[in-house]
Structure 1
Amino acid sequence: MEYKSKLYGSKLVVADRFYPSSKTCSNCGEKKHSLLLSERVFCCEKCHYQIDRDLNAAKNLEKLGQAMAEVTPVDRKEPTPLDEAGSKIDSNRVIISLKT
């Protein structure tokens, strides 16, 4: 996808693996504490919105992509290594700042 986005001049936005796209109501933004994989219809406890679980996730990811399009990456060099035991450097993360 990265290759294709560069080819077509698009911006690729990658959501964090644990981004709660399925657990968040695409109508009001309320987040469910638990959502079983067997629950195929998302039902919001706050606004009572009902939608297919996958369509709900797609709408939330669309909103994330639109929000990320409004920020600008900050230029930086390689990440500073951490010395603490058990720490991990993720070179795929991008630091962003809001446009002013």
Structure 2
Amino acid sequence: MLANDKLAKAIADMGFYEFRRQLEYKTQLYGSFLVVVDRFYPSSKTCSHCGIKKESLSLAERVFKCEHCGFECDRDLNASINLKQAARSVVSACGLESADTSKLKQERNVSNY
């Protein structure tokens, strides 16, 4: 994406490394874990309904249309559904019960002070 002049500045300014570092820190603090999907995972090109992967999908195409099953969805929503499914498969394999919730930080009730 950094090769695209129109998106390069916005993407470079976002500081993805810092965002990921903060996520890793928070998941350790709360006894959870972070699921990181491969950066080349075709979440936008894969149909979240039937699983068929499109060969090409231009950035100008804002609506995902599957030629196989006829499913239509907003491109970003389709990608987010695919990422959720990818993360869910990892969570179910690891078991959600394994997260240590005893270390959760307790919020203070301001009215008590």
Whether TM exceeds 0.5 here: the answer is yes
Q: Percent identity?
A: 60
Q: Deviations over 1:57-87 (max 9, x none)?
A: 0000000001111335xxxxxxxxxxxxxxx
Match of 1:32 in 2: 54
Residue 21 (str. 1) matches residue 35 (str. 2): no
Structure 2 length-normalised TM: 0.60
Select the structure that is richer in strand. Answer: 1
Number of corresponding residues: 72
Structure 1 runs not aligned, ≥5 long: 73-100
Q: Which of residues 52, 62, 84 in structure 1 aligns to 2:74?
A: 52
Structure 1: which 4+ aligned runs deviate by more than 4 Å?
A: none
| Residue aligned with 1:51, SS | strand
Larger Rg: 2
Structure 2 runs not aligned, ≥5 long: 1-22, 95-113
Structure 1 length-normalised TM: 0.68
Q: RCO higher in 1 or 2 (8 Å CA, sep ≥ 6)?
A: 2
Match of 1:41 in 2: 63
Match of 1:88 in 2: none
Match of 1:71 in 2: 93
- What RMSD, in angstroms, separates the aligned Cα atoms of the two structures? 1.1
